[in-house]
Amino acid sequence: MKRRFLLCLLLALSMAIPVGAQPIRWVDFNVPYESLKYAMEQDIATYEQEKHIPWIDVLALAACRTGGRCGLVSVKKAAADMKRNLSPRELAGDGSKYYDYYHESFSAALGGLLGSYAIEVNGQWVGQYGLKAFSPVAAGYGYSHCSDFGMRRSFGFARKHLGNDLMGSLGTPIIAVEGGVVEAMGWNRYGGWRIGIRSFDSRRYYYYAHLQKDHPFAEGLEVGDTVQAGDLIGFMGRTGYSDRENVNNIEAVHLHFGIQLIFDESQKECNSEIWINAYDIVRLLSNHRSTVEKTTLGWERKYPYKDLDILDYPGG
């Protein structure tokens, strides 16, 4: 059984790891919430110390040792080992040949979630380092979700579910998880009213679908616009599964939230797109939610935000 597992692992890695200048072609993102949280906490705790322990380095090291499973025990050991005067690649030992693959994969999946940012409170900008991306659901609004990635869908054709469904109430404000540029907006027969936002580093494409009938989007939002993490982008609904626009054919009100990884532009829209299981990432982001309020002037975010790692916003 062990030999069979190793053979399957080597086969999967041979298909995924780029050869020469070839981009990564597949990513199985299997990092549990507990491991994400622990690695992030170690990164934040050591940020200003001489020996900073970046969370992506920790996760990549743990993945080399476990074939990508990254259980909490392996992540804790990786974090502890990184306090030694050895590089992650040296610590990986026999698995070091896979380190670049895991590091690039995890950088693509998580690269915009942790960093330096500032929030304006009472007219003062307060800077900090930590989780800078936001939950896709605004603060003060309840939702439920489960790990439903890969489940069967049949509308149009038999296929796998490539996102995480967050069940909530009609009209719940939907938030940009990360800053970026609006690449897609409008009607899709599967996703109904939907928005697609590309991160500033172009590695992540965030897909928000089944938005509210009649009033799906934030006022004035258009394709090509730049948004910041935590901005209001739309409202939860149940549109979709129809060739006719503005139709509620989804049974339950929810947000379909998807994350596509893009290592090369040829992967953006093709038959081999790389979508990852966002469930544990959504769990992590639940600890950081943006507050938006409806005023006489329309919807506004309560605390203005600046991503201090992005000096020049495209189109900004």
* Residue 153 pLDDT: 76
Do 101 and 238 share a domain, yes or no?
A: no
Q: Rounded to whole angstroms, how far apart are CA atoms 266 and 262?
A: 8
Q: Is residue 233 part of a domain?
A: yes
Q: What is the mean pLDDT of residues 5-14?
A: 44
Do 292 and 162 share a domain, yes or no?
A: yes
Do 106 and 148 share a domain, yes or no?
A: no
Domain of residue 266 covers 144-307
Q: Is residue 127 part of a domain?
A: no
What would the pLDDT profile of 21-79 be if each residue is shown by its tens digit?
Answer: 689 999 999 999 999 999 999 999 999 999 999 999 999 999 999 999 999 999 999 99
Do 65 and 198 share a domain, yes or no?
A: no
Among candidate residues 62, 85, 110, the one where a domain is terminated = 110
Report CA-CA distances (Å) from 263 to 17, 25, 202, 296. 12, 8, 8, 43
Q: What is the mean pLDDT of residues 240-244?
A: 95
DSSP E strands: which ranges in the chain? 114-121, 124-131, 144-145, 152-153, 159-160, 164-167, 173-175, 180-188, 192-199, 204-209, 226-227, 232-235, 254-261, 274-276, 292-295, 298-301, 305-307
Q: What are 137's strand-pairing partners?
A: 174
Q: How many domains does the chain have?
A: 2
For 12, counting Cβ atoms within 10 Å of its Cβ (0-12 exposed, 13-18 middle, 19+ buried), the class is middle
What would the pLDDT profile of 171-229 be if each residue is shown by its tens digit?
Answer: 999 999 999 999 999 999 999 999 999 999 999 999 999 999 999 999 999 999 999 99
Contacts of residue 295, defined as CB under 8 A and 6 or more positions apart, other chains included, come to: none
Which of the 8 DSSP states describes residue 115?
E
pLDDT bucket at 161, cuts 50 / 70 / 90: confident
* Residue 61 pLDDT: 98
Q: Is residue 181 part of a domain?
A: yes
Q: Which of 58-62, 241-245, 266-270 shows the lowest mean pLDDT across its residues?
A: 266-270
Do 211 and 104 share a domain, yes or no?
A: no
Which domain CATH number covers 292? 2.70.70.10
Q: Rounded to whole angstroms, how far apart are CA atoms 60 and 72?
A: 13
Q: Is residue 16 part of a domain?
A: no
Q: Rounded to whole angstroms, how far apart are CA atoms 286 and 105?
A: 23
Above 80 in pLDDT, residue 316? no
Q: Is residue 15 part of a domain?
A: no
Report CA-CA distances (Å) from 247 to 163, 219, 255, 275, 311. 21, 20, 15, 26, 41
Q: Is residue 197 part of a domain?
A: yes
Do 296 and 159 share a domain, yes or no?
A: yes
Among candidate residues 84, 110, 136, the one where a domain is terminated = 110
With contact defined as beta carbons under 8 Å apart, do 128 and 316 qualify?
no
Q: What mean pLDDT is reported for the chain?
A: 91
Q: Rounded to whole angstroms, how far apart are CA atoms 289 and 192?
A: 25
Do 190 and 279 share a domain, yes or no?
A: yes
Among candidate residues 110, 129, 158, the one where a domain is terminated = 110
Do 292 and 175 share a domain, yes or no?
A: yes
Q: Is residue 5 part of a domain?
A: no
With contact defined as beta carbons under 8 Å apart, do 206 and 236 qualify?
no
Q: Is residue 192 part of a domain?
A: yes
Do 163 and 274 share a domain, yes or no?
A: yes
* Residue 201 pLDDT: 96
